[in-house]
Structure 1
Amino acid sequence: MATGIVLLFNIIRYFYYHQYLAFPFYWTFFVLTALFLSIAWWAGKQFDKVKYLSERDPLTGTYNRRTVEEYFHKVAKISDIKKQSLGVIMLDLNKFKEVNDKYGHHKGDELLIQVATALNTFVTKHDLVARWGGDEFVVLVDNMKENTANAYVKELQQAITLQNAENFPNVEASVGYAIYPQHGKSFQKLVQEADAYMYKDKKEN
């Protein structure tokens, strides 16, 4: 976008000075244009980098807590307009502490990265995966229906187990969900509901 603005500015500059005012045209015009474009391109890349880092978890590359909450408010409004539901899934890894204690934190980090990969592969382009903190993840699922939610959760758990079967055969995930607007209209309320469901699942397993 920045390069486009600079390019447009230089086109206007050319027509104003050299066509409208009839100033002599020199080759240095192209040098200055190239310089301005280079600066704009570099500034644009830095902005994109800062924006990416502000939205993402540095370890897994998934979105962070602030971003998922902001995204929820946007998609909730869209869901209201379309009269659709929205799923909020909470996911917690079982035996994650054992992995850290037995193999070290670098192995724990490796596991989190693998889980993030499994989640991003499983969800659709309209969904969003975020690291909530520690070994917890949140997934926003577009148009998630209550009558198919349990089946969706089981498939999600299987995807994570299969992804980690070779390197972490004993690690599974406890998953809970809540659905907007049936189970709540605020993000905090839905997270609480999904979290309670998740810990019920963890105790049963």
Structure 2
Amino acid sequence: MRYRGRVVAVCIVILFNILRYGYYHIYLCYLFEKSFFVLTGIFLLVAWIGGRQYDVAKFYAEKDPLTNAYNRRAIDKVFKKQVSQYKNQRKKIGVILIDLDDFKYINDTFGHQTGDELLRCVAECIMSNSKKEDYVVRWGGDEFVHVILDLKEDTLSEYVRSLRSKLSDLDVESVSAVSASIGIAVYPDDGETFEVLIQKADTSMYEMKKA
């Protein structure tokens, strides 16, 4: 969770109190009293609490509470912003669709608690396989999307190999093995909108499943 709301709120209160000090104690020549610090402390506390409420609301508006990955609503906005930056730079974006194999069976056999733990572990695994500037999204029940920014040539095959290896090494109670079907699409080669790229990645994933 970021601190932007809290930082902005506290900065506003500090600026307000600097102006308050200048007006009452310098311009009007009022005596400097202890109550000034008491009120300033109260204002800062209220600002911090209010800013935290903003940060929490923003966090849950963008993130999936179970896995801490981004949600579908957040990634659409982010992708459009990145595309507008990349258009004239000839940079590419990878859209990787990851669908867990046999998740329904695991959920039904071992219970939802085990299923939730598996989803959390998979999300952490994908995040550990990503760069700091990338975005990992929980796309559906057992589907994730990894948006790889500034995609380099010939890195996707190594990415898939590394991700499969990390998934197979996951240690989740009662689950003997974790695997996933993976679909790939690249901006702008396979499309210029997120919707088109997801469809392309979905088609790629099902072709992989058939194979």
Q: Shorter-chain TM-score category?
A: over 0.9
Partner residue of 2:163 out of 156, 165, 175: 156
Q: Which runs of 5+ in 2 are unaligned?
A: 1-7
Paired with 1:174 and 1:103, the residues of 2 have a C-alpha distance of: 21
Name the SS for the 2:38 alignment partner.
Answer: helix
Name the SS for the 2:13 alignment partner.
Answer: helix
Q: Partner residue of 2:119? A: 112
Q: Partner residue of 1:191? A: 198
Paired with 1:201 and 1:132, the residues of 2 have a C-alpha distance of: 19
Q: Partner residue of 2:66? A: 59
Partner residue of 1:94 out of 83, 94, 101: 101
**Alpha-carbon RMSD:** 1.6
1:78 aligns with 2:94: no
Q: Is the 8 A contact 1:183 1:190 kept in 2?
A: yes
Name the SS for the 1:81 alignment partner.
Answer: coil
Name the SS for the 1:175 alignment partner.
Answer: strand
Q: Partner residue of 1:177? A: 184
1:34 aligns with 2:41: yes
Distance 1:138 1:42, change over 3 A: same
Q: Is the 8 A contact 1:118 1:159 kept in 2?
A: yes
So what's the TM-score if we normalise by structure 2? 0.91
Higher-helix-fraction structure:
1
Give the CA deviation at 1:103: 0.6
Paired with 1:175 and 1:167, the residues of 2 have a C-alpha distance of: 24
Q: Partner residue of 1:123? A: 130
Give the CA deviation at 1:169: 2.7
Q: Percent identity?
A: 45
Paired with 1:107 and 1:154, the residues of 2 have a C-alpha distance of: 25
Q: Is the 8 A contact 1:94 1:202 kept in 2?
A: no
Distance 1:13 1:165, change over 3 A: closer
Give the CA deviation at 1:78: 2.2
Deviations 1:21-71 (A, max 9, x none): 212332211111111111001111111111111111111111100111111
Give the CA deviation at 1:166: 7.2
Q: Partner residue of 2:30? A: 23
Paired with 2:143 and 2:34, the residues of 1 have a C-alpha distance of: 59
Partner residue of 2:14 out of 7, 23, 36: 7
Paired with 1:78 and 1:164, the residues of 2 have a C-alpha distance of: 39
Give the CA deviation at 1:13: 0.7
1:43 aligns with 2:45: no
So what's the TM-score if we normalise by structure 1? 0.93
Q: Is the 8 A contact 1:88 1:178 kept in 2?
A: yes
Give the CA deviation at 1:114: 0.7
Deviates more, 1:93-102 or 1:22-31: 22-31
Q: Which runs of 5+ in 1 are unaligned?
A: none
Paired with 2:206 and 2:171, the residues of 1 have a C-alpha distance of: 21
Paired with 2:205 and 2:152, the residues of 1 have a C-alpha distance of: 18
Give the CA deviation at 1:79: 2.0
